[in-house]
Structure 1
Amino acid sequence: MFDRWTFSSHKFRIHSSQALKVIFLLVLISSDDQKLFSILESCKLSPNFRTAVTVHSKIIKHGYEMYPLLLSMLIKVYVACEKSSLARQLLTEICSFNSDVVSANLLIGSLMKIGEIDIAKKVFSALPARDVVTWNSMIGGYVKNGFFLEAMDMFKEMLGTKIEPDGFTFASIINACSRLGALDHGKWVHGLMIEKKIELNNILSSALVDMYSRCGRIEAAKSIFDAVQRTDVSIWNAMINGLAMHGLAVDAILIFSALERENISPDPLTFIGIITACSHCGFVEQGRKYFNLMRKKYSIQPQLEHYGAMVDLFARGGSLEEAYAMIKEMPIEPDVVIWRTLLSACRTHKNSKLGEVIVEKIKHLGSGDYVLLSNIYCSTKKWDNAETVRHTMNKKGIQKSIGKSWVELHGTIHRFKAGDRSHTETEAIYTVLEALIRRSRMEGYVSVRDLVLMDISEEEKEENLNYHSEKLALAFAILKSSPGTEILISKNLRTCLDCHGWIKIVSRVLHRVITVRDRIRFHRFGKGSCSCGDYW
């Protein structure tokens, strides 16, 4: 631990004669700890260096020198107070300790848990020795914080050391492949796991089923599900959720029936999966049946996610008033996600009146809410209302969420934004895209322009739609792949009506299977139709 911290003339000097310890990480957070954090948070919002120094001294006095939450906030406060040299000095001292690897692993894990990734990375880089837990803490931390590519890079770095990955390592990296939709990477990791004779357990089996499902290979997911032991409900949940994502509600219902026959007790996640599967296929009555079954047969009380799934079920089916009634009757306070689910359905079914009511219910509007409401007005030709929403967005500085898509080719993930021209092969990509658009027009494609903000010309509206991120990703994949090769694209937002209709035509013209995984579900295009049956 630090022996002494000397504060003088708003500067401090650290004296350390023994290794830093992190035993305090195992101690429950006390009220003193919480008070110090609250004061530091105030100092960050309204920079107050003198108070920050006083709090820093109290941190030492109370023995909280290695509490990650306090240290990371203290660094931010010094930066806010324009004392970057002190922030760097504190960070350097944290990273330069020579304690045992167990303590270091605890510190890295705690930093990752609170999202302090950069500090965790610096601590990791400064360590003179690492074990498998050290690597797992970093890789797992990256995955939990959404840094999937960084997790992949660190996994590859780990393979270059003498430390062998274990089941925990593979569970994390398989999850990263799942979230990226990186099939080639996922297959490589799966093969490596077999090569290293990593024994399958419930966690790894579930992870593999989930990975192949999310990477568009539902048949491979089924094969794994059929081959492994299925004594744990998590494996059943992974299969049901995978089928739900692919819009295979009938298959999901069959799996649920098999689960019951094998006397596996479903848990709350099972019912979220099966209701979602019903929702994606318009099986309203079946979804209602499972919601009631959950309560009556299995005594599982619905949580927020279950109500959200039911609202989605009703809303997608066009029963907007029933969805709204369920929200009002919920014994739990609805969150913004549930309101947005219904708002999105109002856009689909062009119900601007209910859409206005929902917007009023959402206290903290995000950009998606304004865009949804604007789209509702545009689709119902209420241009003045849409213009008012647009002015509100501009006044508040709210930008429309940028569509992002990515495609994996030959082991590399290529990412695109709407209107992106940053790729090294931009000219060739746009040449292919424009040729596809010309060809699709000859086949009957007409742009769906209603959902583009109205303060631009019709020609500009069409150009705006032409360069959506999934179109750019598709053009690149066509440019770089052999004729007839199946293409898998992932997208961060729900795919729009225009892109959905356009890709259907492209799949017929090129005789290609094109799978798009958007924020909601999978769309498998082939021969001019989509697996969703235009219901999503």
Structure 2
Amino acid sequence: MEVVRRRLVSPGSSLRWSHTTIFTPRPYSTVASPQTLYSVSDDQKLFRILESCKLSPDFRTAVSVHGKIIKHGYGTCPLLLSMLTKVYVACEKPNLARQLLSDVCFLNCDVVSANLLIDSFMKAGEIDVAKKVFSALPARDVVTWNSTIGGCVKNGFFLEAIGMFKEMLRTKFEPDGFTFSSVITACSRLGALNHGKWVHGLMIEKKIKLNYILSSALVDMYSRCGRIETAKSIFDAAQRTNNVSIWNAMINGLAMHGLAVDAISMFKAMEGDNVSPDAVTFIGLLTACSHCGFVEQGRKYFNLMKNDYSIQPQLEHYGAMVDLFARAGLLEEAYAMINKMPMEPDVVIWRTLLSACRTLKNPELGEEVVAKIKHLGSGDYVLLSNTYCSTKKWDNAETVRWSMHKKGVRKSTGKSWVELHGDIHHFRAGDRSHPETEAIHKLLEALIHRTKMEGYVSSPDLVLMDISEEEKEENLNYHSEKLALAFGILKSSPGTEIPISKNLRTCVDCHCWMKIVSKVLHRVITVRDRIRFHRFERGSCTCGDYW
């Protein structure tokens, strides 16, 4: 093996690279033979080799080809540089890809190559680099916009995707079905109903023909934005014969809203229409059963999936069954389900059981579960500590808290957001950064005082701190969904519904408080947390206090 350090310079080009490269030949089973590689004399052969390197990532070969590109005078070829950049991304060498990027942009690479480049960076999670390519392009087409908007959505940058869509409209580009599908998904994930309705209206205005992809996206969006009846109407109007994805969107939407009876009825109608369910269908069914405590029905559909449809349960199906048993208080069955899984349980499944240990005050099993989690996160520590607190084992809770402090683990911050008048306002637990903080806190304090007069009692046991009861209560008072609700009340007309989304599962204290607020103010409040939808109205919640 020979290690050679070379300075690769292309005359007349800005490309300047230093490499430490291993040139010792080795078998190239999936790329090319050494003889082919070192006899390359034209750009087409180099491009084909790079394509192979991308499909079966081979960093050594890519570096060797890079040298050949410069040696043969192709250092200013946008097509080759674009492909080489994508190869470096595929080889998990983003720094090298970034270094090449400035040369690609400087050379004004063609729009087709740029689109492929944007797509490659988005798939690799290099959002900033992909946006840099987008910004540097002198010319774009609809694929450029779709690659950028879709990439933002896939990487969780939903607000950026919506902003990019608005910019697309301002530049007079006509969005197509792919564009709308991505933007609808962004609105869905944000729970941004007004934005979603606006996008849907644009689709109608521009006479975009609904296909199963767009219909499914709309059903999912309205479900996630709290408009399950609208989702049903779109489902009913859709051309859904033999298309399982639309059925899945509807069943999962019903499950999210805790409408297990409706989800089961939808499944029966699906069978009646001779539409074959798939693995996603059963995830929705099992989730619906879990949210409503339908234990026997959950068992039935888990077995039906295997025996009647020959669908082998995946991790998500086992996770749904563990959740079903855990919520129903059947901790031993939940634990047994985990132990008989044919695959390694992931951390989500263990946390599901740990959460149930807290709810059912079973610290002994909680300790066993924590021992199974390989890399403890802040949520795991909090769940275990709260489990100890629920059984008054304060010393154990303090030990867990000290362990968190010693390892530098911080408690996950609750985040909530509310969409009002076309804008999305974000809040964190204890947040005082909002421009109208003083008014929000003043209104929240008045609300808490009023709800106490109606029987609200805080739940200080939930607070992981060795502090006074008054301080614990104050900590609970400023949870993110309470701040979001106070802002929503401050900025909306009496009687209007207030929609809130949250990144974590809503806590017992906030759930109890929201019910009372809905009663005293005669308001409908919807909260979409990490698990499901809660619709608070007249002092009760659609979850029936089972979530």
Give matches, 1:35-46, under 5 Å: none
Aligned counterpart, 1:41: none
Q: Is the 8 A contact 1:101 1:130 kept in 2?
A: yes
Deviations 1:343-388 (A, max 9, x none): 1111111111111001001111111111111111111111111111
The answer as to 2:24 corresponding to 1:6 is: no
Aligned counterpart, 1:502: 513
Deviates further, 326-335 or 204-213: 326-335
Aligned counterpart, 1:143: 153
The answer as to 2:189 corresponding to 1:164 is: no
Deviations 1:289-326 (A, max 9, x none): 00011011111111111101111011100000001001
Aligned counterpart, 2:105: 95
Deviates further, 87-96 or 28-37: 28-37
1:27 to 37, 47, 52: 52
Tell me the distance in 2 between the aligned counterparts of 1:317 and 1:60. 66
The answer as to 2:505 corresponding to 1:480 is: no
What amino acid maps onto 1:170 in structure 2? F
Q: Secondary structure at the match of 1:130?
A: coil
Tell me the distance in 1 between the aligned counterparts of 2:71 and 2:468. 66
Aligned counterpart, 1:534: 545
Aligned counterpart, 1:214: 224
Q: Quick one: structure 1 residues 75 and 235, their matched pair in 2 at CA, closer, same or farther if it must change by over 3 Å?
A: closer
Aligned counterpart, 1:324: 335
The answer as to 2:121 corresponding to 1:111 is: yes
The answer as to 2:295 corresponding to 1:277 is: no
The answer as to 2:248 corresponding to 1:237 is: yes
Q: Quick one: structure 1 residues 482 and 32, their matched pair in 2 at CA, closer, same or farther if it must change by over 3 Å?
A: closer
What amino acid maps onto 1:33 in structure 2? D
Q: Secondary structure at the match of 1:523?
A: strand
What amino acid maps onto 2:138 in structure 1? P
Shift of 1:91: 3.8
Give matches, 1:342-491, under 5 Å: 342-491=353-502
Q: Secondary structure at the match of 1:67?
A: helix
- Structure 1: which 5+ runs fail to align? 38-52, 78-86
Tell me the distance in 2 between the aligned counterparts of 1:448 and 1:129. 58
The answer as to 2:265 corresponding to 1:254 is: yes
Shift of 1:28: 5.3
Q: Quick one: structure 1 residues 459 and 61, their matched pair in 2 at CA, closer, same or farther if it must change by over 3 Å?
A: farther
Deviates further, 95-104 or 122-131: 95-104
What amino acid maps onto 1:434 in structure 2? E
Q: Secondary structure at the match of 1:27?
A: helix
Shift of 1:210: 0.2
Shift of 1:504: 0.5
Q: TM-score, normalised by structure 1?
A: 0.89
What amino acid maps onto 1:360 in structure 2? A
Aligned counterpart, 1:44: none
Deviations 1:170-217 (A, max 9, x none): 000000000000000000000000000000000000000000000000
What amino acid maps onto 1:260 in structure 2? E
Deviations 1:499-520 (A, max 9, x none): 0000000000001110100000
Q: TM-score, normalised by structure 2?
A: 0.87
Q: Is the 8 A contact 1:175 1:211 kept in 2?
A: yes
Tell me the distance in 2 between the aligned counterparts of 1:107 and 1:200. 30
Q: Secondary structure at the match of 1:177?
A: helix
Q: Quick one: structure 1 residues 298 and 399, their matched pair in 2 at CA, closer, same or farther if it must change by over 3 Å?
A: same
Shift of 1:461: 0.3
Shift of 1:56: 8.0
Deviations 1:404-444 (A, max 9, x none): 00000000000000011111111110111000000001111
Tell me the distance in 2 between the aligned counterparts of 1:300 and 1:332. 15
Mark the structure with the bigger radius of gyration.
2
2:134 to 116, 119, 124: 124
What amino acid maps onto 1:213 in structure 2? S
Tell me the distance in 2 between the aligned counterparts of 1:163 and 1:393. 51
Q: Secondary structure at the match of 2:460?
A: coil
Deviates further, 155-164 or 274-283: 155-164
Q: Is the 8 A contact 1:24 1:67 kept in 2?
A: no
Q: Is the 8 A contact 1:69 1:111 kept in 2?
A: no
Q: Quick one: structure 1 residues 237 and 67, their matched pair in 2 at CA, closer, same or farther if it must change by over 3 Å?
A: same
Aligned counterpart, 2:206: 196
Deviations 1:83-118 (A, max 9, x none): xxxx98644223223222111111100100000011
Shift of 1:163: 1.9
Shift of 1:453: 1.4
Tell me the distance in 2 between the aligned counterparts of 1:508 and 1:356. 40
Tell me the distance in 2 between the aligned counterparts of 1:529 and 1:254. 25
The answer as to 2:86 corresponding to 1:68 is: yes
Shift of 1:13: 2.5
Q: Secondary structure at the match of 1:525?
A: strand
The answer as to 2:533 corresponding to 1:522 is: yes
Shift of 1:277: 0.2
Aligned counterpart, 1:45: none
Q: Quick one: structure 1 residues 36 and 325, their matched pair in 2 at CA, closer, same or farther if it must change by over 3 Å?
A: farther
Q: Secondary structure at the match of 2:338?
A: helix
Q: Secondary structure at the match of 1:444?
A: coil
Tell me the distance in 1 between the aligned counterparts of 2:537 and 2:177. 38
1:311 to 319, 322, 325: 322
Q: How many aligned residue pairs are there?
A: 503
Aligned counterpart, 1:228: 238
Q: Secondary structure at the match of 2:239?
A: coil
What amino acid maps onto 1:522 in structure 2? F
Deviates further, 453-462 or 184-193: 453-462
Shift of 1:403: 0.2
Tell me the distance in 1 between the aligned counterparts of 2:198 and 2:57. 49
Aligned counterpart, 1:294: 305
Q: Is the 8 A contact 2:514 2:536 kept in 1?
A: yes
What amino acid maps onto 1:70 in structure 2? Y
